[in-house]
């Protein structure tokens, strides 16, 4: 698979895999850590979560600008790695305050901005050599597979480390306890019955249970220190990323600045008559005006108004710098970017409200068969058995690969049978683990979906990027419809008044896994297709700006993820999910209404 690729691909693959593993280890536990450590409400935790996501994506734009200006891409990548290590180490300090944690998250986000985009530039530069140019697309497929492998492994490691620390200190894990413990300690818990029952259940030695107050203090301390160990694992992963990058840095040449200088020179020549100051003033005025005017609308806060203002100001800036003949393209691209904002707002609920839902409404334990998907060792067995099955029956497989496939399928299917037969009748699971299913499905489905597209193209059934994005939006909307239907019998968070939903009333984990499956399909269809569309149809003089705009829309959409936590507890669950379903269907409707125009310019 790597035979025809430069050695630098392997270096960057493992550099990025280790970095993404560290990042997603931190991300898997972030929102629940903020609540468990500082007693934050869902609304408060969601606010910090959305600002962090905004900073991560927003800093990509500035990280690219710094690297473009200095032409020191490799050094910028290294600085980003060091900053992320520093941020994770700060997060791992047990006594760090809330504001200290926010500062640490800011360092992580800025480091990610310096690293994430620029490491891809370095990768692309490897394939500027004509000897490797034909393998560019395959290289990026391999590279992105590393991202998803890291993201898949991270939640399992994060929760295993935390649960290990709990067990060492004589406790079992229960995600419901931290919120109840905080309520008890601040005297806002009206009925201690549920907390008392859970406390006795998770205390391994009943002789160690002296009082409910002591239990709450001890459990929160141990629980949060377990999370701190997970942050330390993230720091360790980033150190591995740095070691790989520095030891094998000679396999990755520095990015040449000659072409960029020429492009910059041409850009200056073609735009030498532009009144840059006037354009900037107009754009800033629109930003301020839209933000202020939005506050006149009841229920709209400054954060939403600022996000809207940034988007409108960005589009206004583009309209001013392109020739009149190119403005229809900008208008259509603006509509696509608006759709992408809606998508990221809804998709990133997988790390926020979906996690709240998994903690409060999904069964806390599973049967032996289902447990295969909630344990790292057993889910790897499932993956390897599936890989063997594919090799066994793939039409292009040689006899040798069919034999290997048969061995893999037989051995790891037997391992799955063994693990499921030896498991307990009820096996506890953690809410954070569901975040592993999105990368799991992306790893599993990406080659299948690519194969499907290839099959259709051979039969002259062409699916343009526009069509794929529309289908992705509809599938995402259907995911929320399913979530809305299964939430109908469930009480709203507000109706529970801080109490815990009994296990008998919770939904089966398979439902949430199915929803993650639908969202993963939507992401595969929308994210790469949207980026490809923008790069293909952007006016030549705005291609760099439009790619920055693509990242910018991800930042705005990620900031708007707070709408989920804002509505959490304020409306019925089915209403919450219906709002996001309507957003996605409306976005699909907007794309369909402009289908001919979008398809025409593609």
70 or 215: whose pLDDT is higher?
Answer: 215
Average pLDDT over residues 214-224: 96
The span from the CA of 396 to the CA of 391, in Å, is: 9
The CATH topology of domain 326-364+429-602 is Growth Hormone; Chain: A; (1.20.1250)
Structure confidence at residue 140 (pLDDT): 77
| Longest CA span, the chain | 81
DSSP symbol at 197: H
pLDDT, greater one: 8 or 514 = 514
Q: For 247, what's the count of Cα atoms within 13 Å in the CB-facing half-sphere?
A: 10
Which residues, including other chains, have CB under 8 Å from residue 357's CB and lie 6 or more apart?
483, 512, 573
198's tokens: 């859970």
Name the least confident of 143-152, 338-347, 414-423: 143-152
198 vs 451, residue with greater confidence: 198
Listed by start position, the domains of the chain span 275-321, 326-364+429-602, 367-428
For residue 481, name the pLDDT band (cuts at 50, 70, 90).
very high
DSSP output for 234-277:
HHHHHHHHHHHHHHTGGGSPPPP-HHHHHHHHHHHHHTTT--HH
Q: What is the pTM of this model?
A: 0.87
Distance CA 286, CA 311 (A): 10
Residues in the chain: 602
Report in angstroms the alpha-carbon separations of 181 from 169, 211, 499, 585, 590.
Answer: 17, 12, 11, 40, 47
C-alpha distances out from residue 587 to 28, 149, 197, Å: 28, 30, 47
User: Of 445, 1, 23, 34, which Cα lies nearest the Cα of 227?
Assistant: 34
- Residue identified by tokens 């998907």 is 373
Q: Is the pLDDT of residue 263 over 70?
A: no
At 239, phi and psi to the nearest 5?
-65, -40
Nearest of 104, 66, 65 to residue 87 by alpha carbon? 104
Who has greater pLDDT, 100 or 540?
100
- Flag the least confident range among 9-13, 425-429, 553-557, 560-564: 553-557
The residue ranking higher by pLDDT, 288 or 141, is 288
Query: Which pLDDT band, with edges at 50, 70 and 90, does 400 fall under?
Result: confident
C-alpha to C-alpha distance for 54 and 48, rounded to whole angstroms: 10
Convert the pLDDT of each residue in 265-281 to its tens digit.
444 444 444 467 777 78
Among 242, 261, 253, 10, smallest CA distance to 121 is for 253
- Is the pLDDT at 104 greater than 90, yes or no? yes
Secondary structure element (H or E) that encloses residue 227, with its range: helix 212-247
Tokens representing 466 are: 């526009």
CB 506 within 8 A of CB 553: no
**8 A C-beta contact, residue 510 and residue 429:** no
Nearest to 58 by CA among 117, 11, 98, 2: 117
What confidence tens digit (pLDDT) does each residue in 417-444 have? 999 999 998 999 999 999 999 999 998 8
Please check the confidence at residue 522 and state whether its pLDDT lies above 70: yes
Which percentage of the chain shows pLDDT scores above 90? 54
Q: What angle, 0 to 180 degrees and rounded to 10, lies between the N-to-C axes of helices 327-347 and 509-537?
A: 160
Cα distance between residue 342 and residue 557, in whole Å: 6
Q: What is the pLDDT of residues 147-183, one digit of tens each?
A: 889 999 999 999 999 999 999 999 999 999 999 999 9
Tell me if 552 sits within 8 A of 315, measured CB to CB. no
pLDDT above 80 (res 415):
yes
């Amino acid at each position: 698979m790597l035979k025809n690729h430069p050695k630098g691909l392997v270096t960057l693959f493992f550099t990025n895999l280790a970095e993404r593993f560290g990042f997603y280890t931190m991300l898997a536990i972030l929102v629940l850590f903020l609540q468990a450590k500082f007693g934050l409400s869902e609304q408060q935790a969601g606010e910090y979560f959305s600002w962090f996501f905004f900073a991560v994506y927003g800093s990509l734009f500035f990280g690219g600008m710094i690297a473009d200006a200095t032409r020191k891409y490799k050094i910028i990548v290294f600085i980003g790695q060091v900053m992320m290590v520093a941020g994770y180490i700060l997060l791992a300090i047990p006594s760090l305050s809330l504001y200290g944690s926010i500062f640490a998250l800011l360092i992580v986000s800025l480091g990610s901005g310096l690293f994430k985009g620029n490491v891809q530039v370095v990768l692309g530069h490897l394939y500027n050599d004509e000897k490797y140019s034909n393998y560019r697309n395959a290289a990026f497929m391999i590279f992105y597979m590393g991202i998803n492998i890291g993201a898949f492994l991270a939640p399992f490691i994060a929760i295993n480390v935390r649960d290990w620390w709990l067990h060492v200190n004589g406790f079992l894990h229960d995600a419901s306890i931290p919120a109840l413990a905080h309520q008890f300690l601040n005297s806002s818990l009206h009925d201690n019955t549920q907390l008392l029952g859970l406390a006795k259940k998770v205390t391994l030695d009943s002789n160690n249970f002296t009082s409910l107050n002591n239990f709450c203090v001890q459990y929160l301390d141990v629980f949060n220190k377990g999370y701190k160990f997970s942050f330390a694992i993230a720091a360790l992963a980033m150190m591995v990323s740095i070691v790989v990058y520095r030891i094998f840095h000679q396999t990755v040449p520095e990015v040449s600045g000659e072409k960029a200088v020429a492009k910059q020179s041409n850009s200056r020549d073609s735009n030498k008559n532009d009144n840059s100051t006037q354009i900037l003033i107009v754009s800033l005025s629109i930003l301020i005006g839209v933000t202020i005017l939005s506050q006149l609308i009841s229920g709209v806060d400054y954060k939403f108004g600022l996000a809207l203002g940034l988007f409108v100001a960005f589009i206004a800036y583009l309209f001013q710098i392109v020739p009149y003949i190119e403005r229809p393209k900008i208008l259509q691209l603006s509509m696509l970017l608006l759709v992408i904002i809606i998508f990221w707002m809804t998709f990133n609920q997988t790390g926020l409200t979906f996690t709240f839902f998994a903690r409060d409404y999904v069964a806390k334990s599973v049967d032996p068969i289902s447990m295969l998907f909630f344990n790292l060792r057993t889910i790897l067995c499932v993956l390897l058995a599936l890989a063997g099955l594919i090799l066994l029956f793939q039409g292009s497989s040689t006899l040798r690969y069919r034999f290997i496939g048969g061995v893999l399928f037989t051995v790891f299917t037997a391992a799955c049978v063994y693990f499921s037969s030896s498991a307990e009748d009820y096996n506890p699971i953690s809410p954070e683990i569901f975040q592993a299913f999105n990368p799991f499905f992306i790893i599993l489905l990406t080659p299948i979906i690519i194969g499907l597209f290839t099959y259709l193209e051979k039969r002259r059934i062409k699916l343009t990027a526009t069509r794929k994005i529309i289908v992705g939006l509809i599938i995402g909307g259907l995911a929320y419809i399913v979530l809305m239907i299964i939430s109908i019998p469930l009480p709203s968070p507000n109706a529970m008044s801080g109490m815990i939903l009994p296990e008998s009333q919770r939904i089966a984990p398979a439902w949430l896994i199915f929803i993650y499956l639908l969202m993963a399909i939507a992401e595969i269809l929308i994210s790469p297709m949207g980026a490809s569309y923008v790069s293909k149809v952007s006016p030549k003089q705005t291609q760099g700006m439009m790619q920055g705009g693509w990242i910018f829309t991800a930042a705005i959409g990620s900031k708007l993820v707070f709408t989920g936590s804002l509505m959490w507890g304020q409306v019925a669950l089915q209403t919450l999910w219906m709002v996001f379903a309507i957003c996605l269907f409306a976005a699909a409707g907007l794309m369909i209404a402009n289908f001919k125009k979008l398809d025409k310019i593609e």
